[in-house]
Amino acid sequence: MRGVQSPGDGREVVAVSTRSVSNTARDRTRQKGAICFEFERDGEEVRTKVHRDRQLDKIEQIERDNREFGDPLPALDIPGAGEKREDCGDAIPALFCECCADIHDRGRTCYQPSCPRCWPAWDYRRATPVAAKLQGYIGYQHAIGDAGREMKGHHVVFNFRPEGEGVRFDSSDSLERGIETVKEMAHMVNIDTGFLIYHPYRIKVEYRGDVVDHESGEGDMTWADLIGEDDWKEYVVHEPHFHVLAPSPFVQGGELTKEIQEVTGVNIERITKPDSNVSMYDLEDFAAVAAYSLSHAGVRETENGDSEVVARFFGELHNFEATEAIEMAADREVRDAAPRVLGKAFPARSCKMETTERWSESIEVTRWKRLAPVSAAFREAGRFGTASESYEEEEGTAEAEIEEEATCGAQLVSMADAPEYLNNSEWVEMVGRDAARALVQTYNEADWIGEVMAPP
């Protein structure tokens, strides 16, 4: 319900109530201070207050006062726009085969989102647990009772006013204020947990193509075409917005989101598949949307000089852990989605060692059994008679030794996991002590791991 309230100090307050969406988690939330920001609409500055006290459960427009609102949402870099580290790509013995212990070199990867070489590996590593948590949490809710059976995956975008119309916060940390604003608005539309991602830019509409199955522009360009390119800023416009990937029975829209936009300037849009009201259907969708959304998130520098994207879990998903089986399935789905949404491929890590497989097996054979000896006279005369007169067929089996050239094909595991395998005596016997000793030596020489092991 929307109405006009009089606070008693001369201010006119326009409030939006969201009490039609009930959730006990909100009632347990402790009282916090309000968030204030301003935006421009039709040439006028509008100031908005978002209450974080769930007992108030409303947002409101307030009159201007002497406070300065000078901090917009930042125009951060995107993944791949930073500098490559000196040792990125250097060959290191990073993996070994869990079946034959063969050691495999890989290029050193820093897993920094800012790195033009390593950002795809970072994206893959970050998107996988996001997809796994969404899948696992929805399954968990389905398992614990009736309330969870309608739990679905939703992809929701919170669009702040474009830079030209302005949005400014009353805080020196405008980004954290923006994140808190989105979390509060998410609660208003029935999202209490999820994964939040900050996007500083959109591709300009004249260049923008279809992305993750929905039409969005007049061109054919995607972020996969821009990331890592020196001139990427020529094709984008600063339009700050946040993506939220969330499990929820429903996301409330209609009049509520219209009123939120009128009071705050924030447009809330639930992304759906073409010709469908489904947003994200299954693990395949979670993986594709997470990988794509992370690929062009805002990147900032950390205190220790590394880089990080502005993305985080909130609510129950923050501490939720998916099962190992779901994590493995999510890994496969992110690998499958990567060529389409990132323009990069992550083939499964499998051993390429050429091996000779040897085994014995029984095979069917036909033998000719001689019925009677052939006389010398007949042999000299070259008269042996017919085969049927002197021999008969006999069916039987025989053991045959088979050899076949093959590729090992077993899974590769991180060199950091070597102690777990080398401390297993059965595994050492399987791969052979020579191979195990070679693995110990390689592990001990890998100074980027640091633990020394005794040879088996």
CA 78-81-86 angle, 5° bins = 140
Is the domain of 20 the same as that of 145?
Answer: yes
Given this model, what pLDDT does residue 16 score?
A: 57
Is the domain of 219 the same as that of 297?
Answer: yes
Distance between CA atoms of residues 406 and 419, nearest Å: 28
Residue 455 forms part of a structural domain: no
Q: Which of 341, 365, 389 is the last residue of a domain?
A: 341
Distance between CA atoms of residues 8 and 11, nearest Å: 7
Is the domain of 295 the same as that of 371?
Answer: no
Residue 418 forms part of a structural domain: no
Is the domain of 52 the same as that of 176?
Answer: yes
Given this model, what pLDDT does residue 376 score?
A: 55
439 residue type, one letter: L
Facing residues of 198 across strands? Answer: 242
Is the domain of 250 the same as that of 378?
Answer: no
Distance between CA atoms of residues 372 and 384, nearest Å: 11
Is the domain of 24 the same as that of 128?
Answer: yes
DSSP string covering 365-405: EEEEEE-SPPPHHHHHHT----HHHHEEEEEEEEEEEEEEE
Residue 110 forms part of a structural domain: no
Domain of 135?
A: 2-76+116-341
Residue 432 forms part of a structural domain: no
**Structural tokens at position 427:** 């595994």
Is the domain of 330 the same as that of 367?
Answer: no
User: For 46-173, where are the alpha helices, taking DSSP H only?
Assistant: 119-144
Q: What are phi and psi of 375, to 5 degrees?
A: -70, 155
How long is the chain? 456
Strands (E), 256-390: 267-271, 299-301, 307-309, 311-314, 354-370
Question: In 10 A of CB 85, how many CB atoms?
Answer: 16
133 residue type, one letter: K
Is the domain of 49 the same as that of 28?
Answer: yes
Residue 415 forms part of a structural domain: no
| Intra-chain end-to-end CA distance of the chain, in Å | 73
Is the domain of 365 the same as that of 329?
Answer: no
Residue 145 forms part of a structural domain: yes
Distance between CA atoms of residues 336 and 325, nearest Å: 17
Residue 132 forms part of a structural domain: yes
Residue 289 forms part of a structural domain: yes
Given this model, what pLDDT does residue 29 score?
A: 40
Is the domain of 215 the same as that of 331?
Answer: yes
**Cα dihedral 35→36→40→44 (10° resolution):** 150
**Collapsed DSSP state (helix, strand, coil) of residue 114:** coil
**Structural tokens at position 224:** 């996969």
Given this model, what pLDDT does residue 26 score?
A: 40
Is the domain of 188 the same as that of 124?
Answer: yes
- Quote the number of domains for the chain: 2
Given this model, what pLDDT does residue 446 score?
A: 80
Is the domain of 323 the same as that of 378?
Answer: no
Question: In 10 A of CB 358, how many CB atoms?
Answer: 9
Distance between CA atoms of residues 369 and 366, nearest Å: 10
Q: What average pLDDT values come out for the chain (456 residues) when binned by 10 residues?
A: 38 46 41 77 83 69 77 92 91 91 90 94 96 96 73 94 70 89 94 96 90 72 90 94 96 92 91 89 96 96 94 96 96 94 85 75 69 55 51 70 77 90 93 93 79 58
Which of 183, 253, 251, 244 shows the shortest CA–CA distance to 26?
A: 183
Question: In 10 A of CB 87, how many CB atoms?
Answer: 12
